[in-house]
């Protein structure tokens, strides 16, 4: 016994794994020999779900539980705007995106963001003032949303990078 798929990505629709039943000779077992029940018939949200296969006793007997997972959808791409705040600082603001519980603002003087600094910002805020910047330098800034799925961070894509010169 197996499931056709053990991992899905959240899409707002009910998603269920299909049972693939084969005997010891690797021949497909007809669906009339078993019933399948799901732990949650409305499996739209991220989480782990169980499909219970119960054989009806004609040709096969027993019960087996199989699990599948629906993974949370990563946050969408955000857009960022920059404005000069003071002499050695700038304000980065961005559009909020669904599913993001926090944002990462990355900034530095390299186009490739090598050696760039990263600042974590709560989803309650949609802007951050970046301070202690050097005069006469170009700064590149980008932002991405993320959320925690257990102990794992699920990141959305970075926004397009923006550049500003500190005068």
Supply the mean pLDDT for the chain. Answer: 90
Beta partners for 79? none
Distance CA 142, CA 164 (A): 12
Specify the 3-state DSSP secondary structure of 13. Answer: coil
Q: Which of 131, 121, 123, 125 is nearest to 91 (CA)?
A: 131
- What is the band of 11 on the pLDDT scale with cuts at 50, 70, 90? confident
- Determine the average pLDDT of the residues in 23-31: 88
Say how far apart CA 74 and CA 71 lie, in whole Å.
9
Backbone angles phi, psi at 57, to 5 degrees: 90, -5
pLDDT of residue 85: 63
- Residue 157's CB: how many other CB atoms inside 10 A? 13
What pLDDT score was predicted for residue 41? Answer: 77
Q: Specify the pLDDT at position 10.
A: 86
Confidence at 98, pLDDT banded by 50, 70, 90: confident
| Per-residue pLDDT tens digits for 52-90 | 999 988 788 899 999 999 888 889 999 999 987 678 899
pLDDT of residue 52: 93
Distance CA 43, CA 116 (A): 40
The tens digit of pLDDT for each residue in 126-136 reads 999 999 999 88
Within 13 A of 145's CA, how many CA atoms are on the CB side? 22
pTM score, whole prediction: 0.70
């Amino acid at each position: 016994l197996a499931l056709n798929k053990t991992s899905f990505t959240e899409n707002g629709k009910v998603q269920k794994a299909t049972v693939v039943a084969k005997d010891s000779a690797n021949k497909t077992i007809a669906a009339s020999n078993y019933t399948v029940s799901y732990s949650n018939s409305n499996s739209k949200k991220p989480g782990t779900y169980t499909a219970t296969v119960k054989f009806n006793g004609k040709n096969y007997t027993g019960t087996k539980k199989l699990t599948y997972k629906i993974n949370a959808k990563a946050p969408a791409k955000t857009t960022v705007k920059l404005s000069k705040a003071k002499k050695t600082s700038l304000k980065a603001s961005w559009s909020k995106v669904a599913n993001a519980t926090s944002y990462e603002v990355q900034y530095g003087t390299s186009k490739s963001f090598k050696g760039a600094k990263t600042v974590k910002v709560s989803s309650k805020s949609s802007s951050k003032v970046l301070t202690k910047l050097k005069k006469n330098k170009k700064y590149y800034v980008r932002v991405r949303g993320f959320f925690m799925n257990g102990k794992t961070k699920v990141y959305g894509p970075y926004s397009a990078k923006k550049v500003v010169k500190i005068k």
